[in-house]
Amino acid sequence: MKADHPQSPPPWRPVVQFESVGVRYGTGPEVLRDLTFSIAPRSFQFLTGPSGAGKSTLIRLILLAVRPSRGLISLFGEDVAGLSGEALTRLRRRMGIVFQDFRLLGHLTTFENVALPLRVQGREEASYRGEVAELLRWVGLGDRMHALPAVLSGGEKQRAAIARAVIARPELLLADEPTGNVDPSLARRLLRLFVELNRLGTSVLLATHDLALMDQVDARRLVLGDGRLHIDE
């Protein structure tokens, strides 16, 4: 009788994989070219570079809001080329996004804004009420859950936007200059939230040009310049 041999664990698949990706608008030159990199599960990295370097475009490529002119993009092990609209929607739901300008809906309370991704999924409020309240307490907004965005400070709006981005427990969190409109003290506090989310298992890609902020965390840096990307481990 053969002895059983323990099976080796399956190799991990990148959350994001770019291979020789290029982007151009219309017939103009490529604004990003030869992008080759991957994002590992449960990893944390910064995306940096000067203003206009293409950080937002790169994030939109990952979100599938912009299509590459050439090259291969895989998300969660799936080549996105040729996927149906339904399949692309399914992949997008595995990601969360935080914008610099918050993008909260003004007629909804903090609680309602944060709960919106769960409502879109068709869940009943009774099934997530406690979950949303707990997350709002975790980001320091437990006493602001019934407030409208108009009466929130900039820092409170950004924390609400972060909570909305992670309420559905995404595998990948993309943050596009999330600390650009707050003071340095609050920026460090927000960074700690992202680090804690990563510790809990979410891959994080945080776009910023703030070198002092990046120095707070020992993390890989994806650096854009002149349309190309290099990686600072």
- Structural domain including 139 reads 105-168
Q: Is residue 87 part of a domain?
A: no
From residue 141, alpha-carbon distances to 58, 112, 148, 152, 200 in Å are 31, 13, 12, 10, 20
Q: Is residue 173 part of a domain?
A: no
Question: Which H/E stretch holds residue 17?
Answer: strand 16-24
Say yes or no to pLDDT of 10 above 80. Answer: no
- Per residue in 152-168, pLDDT tens? 998 899 999 999 999 99
CA-CA distances (angstroms) from residue 55 to 29, 169, 206?
17, 24, 10
At residue 7, the pLDDT reads: 55
What's the pLDDT at 137? 93
Lowest mean pLDDT across 22-26, 165-169, 183-187:
183-187
Residue 189 has pLDDT above 60, yes or no: yes
pLDDT band at 181 (very low <50, low <70, confident <90, very high): confident
Would you say residue 2 has pLDDT above 50?
Answer: no
Let me know if residue 209 belongs to a domain. Answer: no
- Average pLDDT score over the chain: 91
What count of residues does the chain have?
Answer: 233
Rg (CA), the chain: 19
> At residue 98, does pLDDT exceed 60?
yes
Give the model confidence (pLDDT) of 41-56 as tens digits: 999 999 999 988 999 9
In a domain, 119, yes or no: yes
Which DSSP letter does residue 138 get?
H
Q: What is the DSSP string of 44-55?
A: EEEEE-STTSSH
Mean of pLDDT values over 126-150: 94
Which carries the bigger pLDDT value, residue 20 or residue 188?
20
Residue 118 inside a domain? The answer is yes
In this model, does residue 8 exceed pLDDT 60? no
- What distance in Å separates the CA atoms of residue 164 and residue 172, rounded to the nearest whole number? 14
Q: Would you call 33 helix, strand, or coil by DSSP?
A: strand
Query: What share of the chain in percent tops pLDDT 90?
Result: 71
**Is 127 a domain residue?**
yes
If you average pLDDT over residues 16-24, what whole number do you get? 96
Query: Does any domain span residue 12?
Result: no
> How many domains is the chain partitioned into structurally?
1
Q: What is the pLDDT of residue 187?
A: 86
47 is a domain residue: no
C-beta separation of 33 from 69 below 8 A? no
The residues that bridge with 19 in the sheet, in sequence order, are: 72
